[in-house]
Amino acid sequence: SAVISQKPSRDICQRGTSLTIQCQVDSQVTMMFWYRQQPGQSLTLIATANQGSEATYESGFVIDKFPISRPNLTFSTLTVSNMSPEDSSIYLCSVGQGSAGNTIYFGEGSWLTVV
Amino acid sequence: AQSVAQPEDQVNVAEGNPLTVKCTYSVSGNPYLFWYVQYPNRGLQFLLKYITGDNLVKGSYGFEAEFNKSQTSFHLKKPSALVSDSALYFCAVRDEGNTPLVFGKGTRLSVIA
């Protein structure tokens, strides 16, 4: 299994600021996904980040609000821009490798509170 | 497009009793089904998955799940519940295209001593 480290683990952010979340994996992976989990809710996919190409965003999420970088096969960042209280969520990095049957693993998440 | 339904927001069970957490799915092709657990203030932990083969899949912490193609279900089960099993459980599905996981809304399991 992959070991995924996310930073920061928690943060309290001021309205209007931006925060970058880092995701580091202990092995090279082809696919990385960023999810959001709003309080008491399920996980919603923000975007798929593949190395060497631009991220693919899901409906309702845009690059200006959630810019993503994927400079290599072990690292990705998600920035939450111009934050509002509605952005208070857990942001989770996940990784997949190979075929569709392979397990997708998750980091511990970054718990953001916007005040 | 694939989807997952977890019909129960909350399941309560007494310690030592069997538990079932329900999940039904919809995919266009062959399903790849997963169960994850989220303990308070933690990320998601992988429990088990169904890819192909035996319909009964065994996973971590004594959990198992039964794949039923005709009913498009993948219910999570455990013969004897523990208080420490109390957590939020998510069923997820992806199709053959190596697409991202799609999650159900989650079921909160409460095991009472």
User: Between A95 and B96, whose confidence is greater?
Assistant: A95
Q: Tens digits of per-residue pLDDT, A4-21?
A: 999 999 999 999 999 999
Residue A93 has pLDDT above 90, yes or no: yes
- pLDDT value of position A98: 66
% of chain A beyond a pLDDT of 70: 97
- pLDDT value of position A30: 83
Q: Which residues pair with B102 in a beta bridge?
A: B93
- Mean pLDDT computed over B93-108: 87
Q: CB–CB of A105/A23 below 8 Å?
A: no
CA distance B44 to B8: 19
- pLDDT value of position B61: 93
- Which residues in chain A have their CB less than 8 angstroms from residue B97's CB? 100
Q: If you average pLDDT over every residue of chain B, what do you get?
A: 94
CA distance A78 to A65: 10
Residue A99 has pLDDT above 80, yes or no: no
- pLDDT value of position B42: 85
Residue A100 has pLDDT above 90, yes or no: no
Least confident of A8-22, A55-69, A91-105: A91-105
Q: CB–CB of B50/B57 below 8 Å?
A: yes
SS (H, E, C) chain A: CCCEEEECCEEEECCCCCEEEEEEECCCCCEEEEEEECCCCCEEEEEEEECCCCCEECCCCCCCCCCEEEEECCEEEEEECCCCHHHCEEEEEEEECCCCCCCCEECCCEEEEEC
Residue contact A101–B105, C-beta within 8 A:
no
Closest CA relative to residue A94, chosen from A7, A11, A6, A9: A6
* Inter-chain CB pairs, A–B, below 8 Å: 57
Residue contact A42–B102, C-beta within 8 A:
no
Q: CB–CB of A43/B100 below 8 Å?
A: no
- pLDDT value of position A54: 87
* Other beta carbons within 10 Å of B84: 10
B32 in reach of chain A (CB within 8 A):
yes
- Which residues in chain A have their CB less than 8 angstroms from residue B98's CB? 31, 96, 99-100
Least confident of A3-17, A50-64, A87-101, B73-87: A87-101
Residue B90 has pLDDT above 70, yes or no: yes
Residue B30 has pLDDT above 90, yes or no: no
Please give the residue of chain A at the shortest CA–CA distance from B98: A100
Residue A70 has pLDDT above 70, yes or no: yes
On the 0-12 / 13-18 / 19+ scale of CB atoms within 10 A, A88 is: middle
Residue contact A96–B43, C-beta within 8 A:
no
In which order are the strands placed within the sheet that holds A68-72? A4-7, A19-25, A75-80, A68-72
